[in-house]
């Protein structure tokens, strides 16, 4: 099975090529067949590979398949080579399986779309690029995938290109993430210049040998990597593109802007954790950014009216949890939350998509209501998703991943009570905004006409994901319950355990009880909040100023528009005739004027000429004599 | 002899087109196409015959040579020679010229025979620049490009073409004059030290000049190339010239002639003055960075598509200077790949602009929009070329930018880092093109469908070349390798002076 690794990204790529070249000549049925089966095949190979990986792990718990050399200049080499270890296997499984379900769902969601082939072509290309990103054995190939998913994100956000607003959102997403990409690129140049290699495993071996802990070179390298991660993963201060990215079709939001691409930054940091370990100060920054982002974005999610925007802020906030975990060295906890989040957030987005379809493309939460009777399947699956993201104890996957993070943040030598408090408050906020959506959309009175038929292609993925959102948590059961840390055990060949200092069982139990309490408090608050906003004429439960601030995402867009975007556009427009050219046109003018002036001396009067000759002779003689 | 064929085939095609063009319109297209296709085959055959490009360090690894006495009194030879670099550049020029005649050949509005002749004269001169092994011969070809180009701009241009053609002529002529002075100085200096009067590049590079005079001589070369490339602040002739020319001539200027300057830097300026080049390198890298950032910024402020691409083109050639003067091997290879891929991609971009102009009767992006509704395939192809322009990994242009930036970073971390921010600016002006021209609501355009003719297949071939170089640049790199084994180039991968900060255990 290991010899088939290359097919995992190659089949979706082939699907893209077929749909891009021949899409115009294919029927809808065959387009769906190509688009969905390519991901299905890829997922089957991934599952087969995983089974073999579990049954008979390769030597060193990693295997590399090399296809061809991209370049080799005096030993600086980049191959098209796929590196499969526990970490990339996890990513591959999540990408292909959830990707497959979202593709199936898309055949229903995009049923009436004119550009059906183009949609599936882009989706297939995205899966291929994302798989290249996670399987790359060197930073060059990783960057190819990294930019490839950025391109697909751009193309899919702007999928409905007739509306300039979608195009603007797509462009914004591309440009903001590209700011991060520049940092990542410079980071790659730094690795080349200082370690002379692009190969990730070699880098991870050389960096600790050559760089001291806390050395400025290690700090620079990890800061640059972090810059790239912040852009892709929508963390402060580069989070502004993600809420706007909801302009794309909902399956895109589920696949790219919730489950997979936006967690590429988390993957990058986990993959390069050896470098981050050399820079404790940067680790602390990662934790701080994660904590700040989870609080900020979480509060923004509390007031959004657009259901997809609320979920987008929720995504930013949940990735904040992952960064918080990464920052304290809880690598496995971050990856565990990545996996559960991929499941329940894809579920929530797809549920939201079903609601949007049923309401004839209505996305305003305040115009929804009472859908639980009309759309029972969607309601129950969405409820499972909301329970999971809110981390309702014992029965949801989100509980296990979030509690793993909170406990390790508390206990890690790099964490502590302060960072834990941030995550704890975040847990409350998460429960409030999630159940606010549930209560507003599904409870109360029905407000608009509903198309109650949701096709099987959409409901089956919802049900499957709802089951997963309940059960994947059991992969890592804490010692307060049964103690079955399967997940972190699986990843230990790649990611080390955090060094814990306050690690008693009783502490863990107290923390779990505390966060269980806060979740139920949050759900209660959500009930009150949604009842008040629904019944009253006011659309808010917060002071107007706070509400406006949260609705506007703390004004980052406003600030960037004034500080960066507007000055750039205005100055470029003002200088469109190129100030440097004035130097040349000016010089031409001076020559012309001088020629005109010189022409005046040609007066035709003999005494002026005689005087000129005389003065010239005197000057010439003086020059000869004195110089 | 092969090199003479390579050089003269395009000229022959042009002459046939001119002679036959008086009676038949078809000949003006078919004769150049046949000549260029044969030339391409010849070059591919040369490449195939010389896989490996092995050479001793410090020597020029010629894979083919031709020489003939010309003006022996002054030591001027009609000497042609080709190495991997010249081969790459010639192949690019040949492919692009062939593409021009395939796509645009039948749409030349008047005097198609004369147009073909002048175009082929210019192409021959460009080949001459790449193949010259004699400095004076190089200079003659370098200057000979101007006359047919000037005639093409005047005769087939648009708008205020006499002004833009005059600016083009004066700027490049002034640069050429400085280079001529430098060439004569090099010649005299070499004669005084060795007693041998020769313009042979091999002889001159074996005894490179040093001392303060060499710095002035290098400046003469560099300014001539800086005008033609162009670099900030010598760039201002370029947008007018691009906008005022027909598409074929714009491609001649942007894709082909600019490469003679980049080629001159790598083949002549740096090897002839290794010491002065090292001295000048930081300044040239600074100018390269300034060109990348300033030209990208200007590109964003334009509304004429051709002017946007003119500035973007200048920005991309800033990477060539950055890589060439990084004075290390990876930077040099990057510069060469960047030249190769820029030639291919900018040709595709100008084909698309030409199609847009014929379809919508305007190049002003404010008056355009929604073209993807009626021409989705065109939109897809434009997207690929726009992605090449903004340096998307997987396409050849990225390899060029990645290597030049890597080289620049090794030379000085700040140069590489600042230049890397150009990627954001490039994305800004490139995506603006897609947004304003192809996306957005459908607009009412003049009736009628503009036929693609051969545009789609030719653009597809160009895309395949870009993807191939982007994912498998090995053969191209190997050819480029033969140009970098001499002179002041640091071939170490890890020069220790490139370390960002001390702190190493």
Secondary structure, 3-state, B304-354: EHHHHHHHHHHHHHHHHHHHHCCCEHHHHHHHHHHHHHHHHHHHHHHHHHH
Query: In a structure prediction context, what are the per-residue pLDDT tens digits for chain B, which is 505 residues long?
Result: 888 988 999 999 999 999 988 888 888 889 999 999 999 999 999 888 876 565 555 556 778 888 888 888 888 889 898 888 899 999 999 999 999 999 988 888 888 889 999 999 999 999 999 999 899 999 999 999 999 999 999 888 887 888 888 888 888 888 899 999 999 999 999 888 888 888 888 888 888 888 888 899 999 999 999 999 888 888 888 888 888 889 999 999 999 999 999 999 998 888 888 888 999 999 999 999 999 999 999 999 999 999 999 999 999 999 999 999 998 889 989 999 999 999 999 999 999 999 998 888 888 998 888 888 888 888 999 999 999 999 999 999 999 999 999 999 999 999 999 999 999 999 999 999 999 999 988 887 766 566 777 889 999 999 999 999 999 998 888 888 765 444 444 444 443 333 333 333 3
| Residues from chain A contacting residue B410 (CB–CB below 8 Å) | 189, 192-193
Q: How far apart are CA A297 and CA A374, in angstroms?
A: 31
pLDDT given at position A540: 67
Inform me whether the C-beta atom of residue A71 falls under 8 Å from chain B C-beta atoms.
yes
pLDDT given at position B449: 65
Residue of B nearest to A184 (CA): B420
- Chain A neighbours among B 434-493 (CB < 8 Å)? 435, 438-442, 471-474, 477, 491-493
| Residues from chain B contacting residue A212 (CB–CB below 8 Å) | 503, 505
Q: How far apart are CA A404 and CA A381, in angstroms?
A: 24
- Tell me the mean pLDDT in the region A565-572: 89
Residue of A nearest to B422 (CA): A182
Inform me whether the C-beta atom of residue B406 falls under 8 Å from chain A C-beta atoms.
yes
| Residues from chain A contacting residue B297 (CB–CB below 8 Å) | 568, 571-572, 575
Q: How far apart are CA B468 and CA B461, in angstroms?
A: 10
CA A74 to chain B, closest CA, distance in angstroms equals 7
- Tell me the mean pLDDT in the region A237-266: 93
Q: How far apart are CA A54 and CA A49, in angstroms?
A: 9
pLDDT in tens, A430-473: 999 999 999 988 888 877 777 767 888 889 999 999 999 998 88
Q: How far apart are CA B148 and CA B143, in angstroms?
A: 10
Inform me whether the C-beta atom of residue A187 falls under 8 Å from chain B C-beta atoms.
no
Q: How far apart are CA A149 and CA A135, in angstroms?
A: 14
Q: To the nearest 10°, report the CA torsion of A10, A11, A12, A18.
A: 110
H-assigned helices in B361-421 = 371-374, 376-389, 396-411, 413-420
- Tell me the mean pLDDT in the region A208-218: 92
Strand, coil or helix: A329: coil
- Tell if the CB–CB gap between B393 and A71 is shorter than 8 Å: no
For residue B36, the Cα-to-chain-centroid distance in whole angstroms is 18
Mutate to test the interface with B, among A193, A198, A279 (most CBs of B within 10 A): A193
pLDDT in tens, A130-163: 999 999 999 999 999 999 999 999 999 999 998 9
| Residue among A74, A175, A185 whose CB faces B428 most closely | A175
Mutate to test the interface with B, among A13, A73, A231 (most CBs of B within 10 A): A73
Strand, coil or helix: A443: coil
Query: Whole-prediction pTM value?
Result: 0.92
Residue of B nearest to A198 (CA): B406
Contact residues for B192 (Cβ-Cβ < 8 A; gap 6+): none
pLDDT given at position A395: 86
* DSSP symbol at A306: B
- Tell if the CB–CB gap between B427 and A144 is shorter than 8 Å: no
- Tell if the CB–CB gap between B297 and A575 is shorter than 8 Å: yes
- Chain A neighbours among B 165-184 (CB < 8 Å)? none
CB pairs under 8 A between A and B: 169
Is the Cα torsion angle A17, A21, A22, A23 positive or negative in sign? Answer: positive
| pLDDT more than 70, % of chain A | 99
CA B157 to chain A, closest CA, distance in angstroms equals 21
Q: What is the overall mean pLDDT for chain A? A: 90
| Residue among A168, A175, A216 whose CB faces B503 most closely | A216
pLDDT in tens, A296-352: 999 999 888 899 999 999 999 999 999 999 999 999 999 999 999 999 999 999 999
- Tell me the mean pLDDT in the region A100-120: 91
Contact residues for B267 (Cβ-Cβ < 8 A; gap 6+): B85, B86, B201, B483
pLDDT given at position A610: 87
Phi first, then psi, for residue A476 (nearest 5°) are -140, 90
pLDDT given at position A538: 55
pLDDT given at position B361: 85
Band (pLDDT 50/70/90 cuts) for residue A413 is confident
For residue B78, what are the β-bridge partners? B68
- Tell if the CB–CB gap between B420 and A189 is shorter than 8 Å: yes
For residue A20, the Cα-to-chain-centroid distance in whole angstroms is 25
- Tell if the CB–CB gap between A190 and B500 is shorter than 8 Å: yes
| Residue among B423, B442, B500 whose CB faces A182 most closely | B423
For residue B141, the Cα-to-chain-centroid distance in whole angstroms is 15
- Tell if the CB–CB gap between B500 and A193 is shorter than 8 Å: yes
pLDDT given at position B500: 35
Q: How far apart are CA A244 and CA A316, in angstroms?
A: 12
pLDDT given at position B503: 34
Phi first, then psi, for residue A449 (nearest 5°) are -70, 140
First to last CA, chain B: 58
CA A129 to chain B, closest CA, distance in angstroms equals 11
For the ranges A281-285, A547-551, A588-592, the one whose mean pLDDT is highest: A281-285
Mutate to test the interface with A, among B289, B301, B385 (most CBs of A within 10 A): B301
| Nearest alpha carbon to residue A396 among A350, A456, A348 | A348
| Residues from chain A contacting residue B421 (CB–CB below 8 Å) | 182
CA B460 to chain A, closest CA, distance in angstroms equals 11
- Tell if the CB–CB gap between A178 and B427 is shorter than 8 Å: yes
| Residue among B402, B424, B473 whose CB faces A175 most closely | B424
Inform me whether the C-beta atom of residue B394 falls under 8 Å from chain A C-beta atoms.
yes
Q: CA angle B205-B208-B214, nearest 5°?
A: 125
Contact residues for A41 (Cβ-Cβ < 8 A; gap 6+): A7, A11
Give the burial string for B409-432 (b: 16+ CB within 10 Å, else e): bbbbbebbbbbbbbbbbbbbbbbb
């Amino acid at each position: 099975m290991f010899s088939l690794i290359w097919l995992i990204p190659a089949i979706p790529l082939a699907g893209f090529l077929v749909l891009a070249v021949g899409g115009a000549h294919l029927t809808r049925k065959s387009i769906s067949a190509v688009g969905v089966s390519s991901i299905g095949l890829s997922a089957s190979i991934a599952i087969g590979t995983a089974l073999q990986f579990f049954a008979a792990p390769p030597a060193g718990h990693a295997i590399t398949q090399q296809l061809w050399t991209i370049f080799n200049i005096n030993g600086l080499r980049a191959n098209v080579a796929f590196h499969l270890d526990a970490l990339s296997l996890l990513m591959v499984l999540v990408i292909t399986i959830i990707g497959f379900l979202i593709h199936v769902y898309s055949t229903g969601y995009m049923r009436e779309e004119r550009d059906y082939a183009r949609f599936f072509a882009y989706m297939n290309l995205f899966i291929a690029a994302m798989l290249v990103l996670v399987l790359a054995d060197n930073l060059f190939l990783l960057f190819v995938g990294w930019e490839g998913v950025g391109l697909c994100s751009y193309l899919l956000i702007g999928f409905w290109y007739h509306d300039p607003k979608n195009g603007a959102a797509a462009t914004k997403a591309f440009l903001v993430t590209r700011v991060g990409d520049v940092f990542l690129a410079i980071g790659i140049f730094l690795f080349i210049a200082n370690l002379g290699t692009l190969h990730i495993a070699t880098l991870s071996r050389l960096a600790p040998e050559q760089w001291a802990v806390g050395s400025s070179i290690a700090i620079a390298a990890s800061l640059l990597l972090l810059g790239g991660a912040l852009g892709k993963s929508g963390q402060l201060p580069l989070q502004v593109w993600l809420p706007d990215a909801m302009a794309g079709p909902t399956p895109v939001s589920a696949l790219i802007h919730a489950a997979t691409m936006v967690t590429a930054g988390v993957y990058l940091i986990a993959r390069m954790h050896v470098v981050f370990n050399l820079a404790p100060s940067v680790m602390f920054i990662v934790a701080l950014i994660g904590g700040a982002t989870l609080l900020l974005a979480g509060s923004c999610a509390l007031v959004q009216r657009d259901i997809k925007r609320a979920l987008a802020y929720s995504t930013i906030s949940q990735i904040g949890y992952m960064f918080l975990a990464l920052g304290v060295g809880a690598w496995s906890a971050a990856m565990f939350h990545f996996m559960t989040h991929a499941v329940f957030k894809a579920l929530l987005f797809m549920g939201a998509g079903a609601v949007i379809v049923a309401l004839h493309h209505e996305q305003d939460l305040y115009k929804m209501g009472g859908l639980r009777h009309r759309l029972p399947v969607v309601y129950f699956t969405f409820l499972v998703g909301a329970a999971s993201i809110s981390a309702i104890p014992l029965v949801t996957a989100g509980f296990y991943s979030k509690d793993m993070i909170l406990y390790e943040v508390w206990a890690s030598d790099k964490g502590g009570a302060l960072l834990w408090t941030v995550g704890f408050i975040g847990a409350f906020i998460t429960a409030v905004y999630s159940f606010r959506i549930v209560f507003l959309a599904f409870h109360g009175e029905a407000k608009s006409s509903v198309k109650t038929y949701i096709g099987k292609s959409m409901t089956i993925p919802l049900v499957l994901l709802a089951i997963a959102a309940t059960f994947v948590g059991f992969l890592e059961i804490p010692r307060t319950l049964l103690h079955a840390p399967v997940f972190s055990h699986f990843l230990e060949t790649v990611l080390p355990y955090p060094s814990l200092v306050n690690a008693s069982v009783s502490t863990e139990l107290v923390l779990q009880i505390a966060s269980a309490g806060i979740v139920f408090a949050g759900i209660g608050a959500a009930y009150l909040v949604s009842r008040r906003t629904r019944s009253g004429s006011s659309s808010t439960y917060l002071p107007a100023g706070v509400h406006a601030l949260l609705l506007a995402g703390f004004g980052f867009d406003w600030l960037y528009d004034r500080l960066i975007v507007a000055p750039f556009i205005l100055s470029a427009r003002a200088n469109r005739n190129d100030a440097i050219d004035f130097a040349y046109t000016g010089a031409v003018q001076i020559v012309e004027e001088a020629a005109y002036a010189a022409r005046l001396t040609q007066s035709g009067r003999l005494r002026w000429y005689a005087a000129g000759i005389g003065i010239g002779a005197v000057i010439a003689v003086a020059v000869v004599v004195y110089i | 002899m092969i090199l003479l064929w390579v050089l003269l085939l395009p000229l022959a095609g042009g002459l046939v087109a001119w002679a036959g063009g008086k009676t038949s319109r078809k000949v003006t297209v078919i004769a150049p196409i046949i000549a260029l296709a044969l030339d391409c085959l010849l070059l591919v055959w040369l490449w195939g015959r010389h896989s490996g490009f092995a050479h001793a360090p410090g020597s020029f690894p010629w894979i083919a040579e031709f020489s003939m006495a010309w003006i022996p009194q002054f030591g001027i030879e009609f000497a042609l020679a080709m190495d991997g670099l010249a081969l790459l550049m010639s192949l690019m020029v040949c492919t692009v010229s062939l593409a021009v005649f395939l796509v645009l050949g039948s749409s030349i509005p008047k005097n198609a025979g004369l147009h073909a002749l002048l175009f082929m004269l210019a192409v021959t001169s460009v080949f001459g620049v790449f193949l010259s092994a004699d400095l004076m011969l190089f200079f003659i070809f370098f200057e000979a490009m101007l006359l047919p180009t000037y005639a093409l701009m005047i005769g087939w241009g648009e708008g205020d073409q006499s002004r833009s053609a005059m600016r083009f002529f004066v700027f490049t002529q002034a640069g050429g004059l400085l280079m001529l002075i430098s060439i004569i100085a090099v010649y005299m200096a070499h004669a005084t030290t060795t007693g041998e009067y020769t313009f042979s590049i091999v002889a001159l590079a074996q005894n490179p000049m040093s001392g303060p005079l060499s710095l002035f001589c290098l400046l003469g070369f560099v300014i001539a190339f800086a005008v033609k490339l162009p670099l900030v602040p010598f760039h201002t002739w370029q947008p007018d010239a691009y906008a005022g020319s027909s598409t074929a001539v714009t491609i001649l200027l942007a894709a082909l002639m600019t490469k003679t300057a980049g080629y001159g830097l790598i083949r002549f300026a740096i090897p002839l003055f290794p010491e002065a080049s090292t001295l000048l390198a930081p300044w040239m890298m600074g100018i390269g960075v300034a060109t990348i950032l300033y030209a990208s910024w200007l590109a964003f402020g334009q509304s004429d598509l051709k002017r946007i691409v003119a500035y973007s083109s200048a920005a991309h050639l800033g990477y060539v200077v950055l890589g060439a003067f990084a004075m290390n091997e990876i930077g040099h290879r990057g510069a060469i790949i960047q030249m190769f891929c820029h030639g291919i991609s900018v040709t595709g971009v100008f084909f698309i602009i030409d199609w847009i102009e014929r379809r919508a009767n305007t190049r002003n992006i404010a008056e355009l929009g929604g073209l993807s509704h009626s021409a989705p395939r065109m939109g897809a192809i434009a997207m690929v070329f726009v992605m090449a322009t903004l340096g998307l990994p997987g396409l050849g242009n990225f390899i060029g930018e990645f290597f030049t930036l890597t080289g620049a970073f090794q030379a000085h971390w700040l140069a590489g880092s600042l230049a890397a921010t150009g990627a954001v600016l490039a994305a800004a002006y490139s995506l603006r093109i897609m947004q304003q021209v192809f996306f957005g609501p459908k607009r009412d355009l003049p009736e009628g469908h503009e036929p693609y003719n051969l545009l789609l297949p030719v653009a597809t071939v160009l895309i395949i070349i870009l993807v191939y170089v982007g994912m498998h640049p090995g053969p191209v790199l190997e050819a480029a390798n033969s140009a970098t084994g001499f002179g002041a180039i640091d071939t170490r991968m890890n020069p220790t002076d490139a370390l960002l900060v001390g702190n190493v255990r």
